[in-house]
Structure 1
């Protein structure tokens, strides 16, 4: 199939519903060659600043630096409702923006050349820090291509886990602390191989060589230019948009908004339909709650209407989850945590034996081992994308990914 690219010269496993995965145990950091990850790829400065801010928030909380935490939270709140502190940071944002433009330009004009992995690469990313709905879209894309006869694989940085210096094939026995919450969620629900590594080129080659993948989906890879891509899909959160429109650290943008016009396809999370060429709407659907203690127990969300429920969300945009529950008729008590938050039992001190707690699947993968009082449920969601999206993706890949012999 042309869209999946040529696999000439490679031995691929026979097609089937299950993929064989060779699990690679990440070596200790002392055994990891320092040049293996991220070398020559140019800085993912947006991701670095986001991780730095999140890390500072957690570190300040951990050692009790309340004032530092308050300042950082004010900065983040100002991303959507500008405050004085954000305006004071504008000179840093201008410098950051200039650097982001130069990094992207160096790849566009050929000063640095991206590396191919012998199969088409599809990138799903966003311009802002935090969640926009990329994970459900990646799962939907993997399901589509798998049903079309392709053998897709997903590469992820594994944020929130222990980033390895060599690619690691995610398995069901991994934990979120090892591979990251999003990578674990992708592995459980996509049905395709998932590899994590800071070096996405190495992760992609691992999937091609070890799992016979003939299409790579790069999760949150828009700012990682070293891996050649055949298609860019940019996801925009219609609820929060681009915030105050400023780049980090004064605003939430990883790159200037002008980058959006170079995207091959745009997906607007929260919009039913867009009606423009190469632009599509996406709605999250989920009407059931699954018990964390009894995996086969599933209840309709409407069954929780009446008494208040505790809603827990440690994602990029917790308010979207809270509103989803309210849209199902639930009375919600909000408990918002930072994105990629590592939960402990003390986080659920509000719960009693009669409490009902609803959380996202991304939170659930980090809580299924905790002893939490009350009834604890996760709410799975899936992406419903406006008609024509998958045909547009297929069309772009057909045009840009003409069969080629893989690199030796």
Structure 2
């Protein structure tokens, strides 16, 4: 219900106005204290790139992180990724991912990033400790902070804000009246606003998601699936995934949405999705691999961004490294 209200303006929204005002005062004061140095923040010895957004819900940050890792690796850097590890409970923090790390320990998105890229990934509620671990133990020379735009305890050199091009800023109000974590003016302070789908504005960077062939959740083998299928999505905005499958010509029998980062019940999924092939997101697949049925598949996607933007980002990063003597 609350998410339904966030993307329209109604008299009901105004019931939450006092809470939205309190939220605005607290977030503004918190950021001001960090900027004034009254609350200490951590400065990493290597450049830090933050990928985030100012709205609640899935905007496409993880594909941007994957794109950055690939871009930086090809340019000769040794990138590492830090994340809060939302949805996971690690045995200790900071937690360095390894081949046997699970989504229950590290969160689904960090596991996805590690399995796809193979770069060092560390999670911790205090991102600074994860950064220190990657620099000291893994020798990374640039940090990518996944979903850290509002994590002001970690200083950053480059900020990238990802926006859902279809939903954009919703009704334009702060939580809980609307979906905004910060006011729209915050977007003027980032290096770039990346528009995921929809119609990008002249001052935004257009991003599209390129689907790859389906892969089996259990074996990772590639296959082509025909006929009726079921679809599952436990992400911030499931309709985007379902629509992408429809656009690719899949005939969807069931379209089942779960909460973002939800831990699945193996028995419930096996019973619900036993009759037809099931297609899910890659983020969901990392949570289902141990109990997946043979006809369960996931759809990898790759972010496509302009070459000019990649060149601009690498040039700015080169200036940063030169300034720090790296």
**TM-score of the pair, normalised by structure 1:** 0.75
The DSSP-based 3-state class of the residue aligned with 1:172 is coil
Change in Cα spacing, 1:399 to 1:287, as seen in structure 2 (3 Å) is closer
What is the alpha-carbon distance in structure 1 between the residues aligned to residue 172 and residue 308 of structure 2? 30
User: Bigger CA drift: 263-272 or 185-194?
Assistant: 263-272
What is the alpha-carbon distance in structure 2 between the residues aligned to residue 379 and residue 154 of structure 1? 22
Higher strand share: 2
What is the alpha-carbon distance in structure 2 between the residues aligned to residue 398 and residue 352 of structure 1? 51
- Where structure 1 has 5 or more consecutive residues not aligned to the other structure, the ranges are 1-73
State yes or no: 1:282 paired with 2:213.
no
What is the alpha-carbon distance in structure 1 between the residues aligned to residue 292 and residue 313 of structure 2? 44
Match of 2:105 in 1: 178
2:317 maps to which of 387, 390, 397: 397
The answer to whether the Cα contact below 8 Å between 1:154 and 1:194 also exists between their aligned partners in 2 is yes
The answer to whether the Cα contact below 8 Å between 2:212 and 2:302 also exists between their aligned partners in 1 is no
Compute the displacement of 1:91 (Å): 1.1
1:7-406 equivalences in 2 (<5 Å): 74-82=1-9, 85-163=12-90, 166-271=93-198, 275-276=202-203, 279-296=204-221, 298-300=222-224, 303-304=225-226, 307-332=227-252, 333-344=254-265, 345-353=267-275, 355-372=276-293, 375-404=295-324
The answer to whether the Cα contact below 8 Å between 1:143 and 1:191 also exists between their aligned partners in 2 is no
The answer to whether the Cα contact below 8 Å between 1:271 and 1:282 also exists between their aligned partners in 2 is no
What is the alpha-carbon distance in structure 1 between the residues aligned to residue 218 and residue 112 of structure 2? 18
Runs of 4+ in 1 over 4 A off after TM superposition: 82-85, 271-275
Number of residue pairs aligned between Structure 1 and Structure 2:
324
User: Bigger CA drift: 255-264 or 83-92?
Assistant: 83-92
What is the alpha-carbon distance in structure 2 between the residues aligned to residue 369 and residue 166 of structure 1? 24
Cα-Cα RMSD: 2.0
The DSSP-based 3-state class of the residue aligned with 1:282 is strand
The answer to whether the Cα contact below 8 Å between 2:77 and 2:142 also exists between their aligned partners in 1 is yes
Compute the displacement of 1:249 (Å): 1.8
User: Bigger CA drift: 385-394 or 267-276?
Assistant: 267-276
**TM-score of the pair, normalised by structure 2:** 0.93
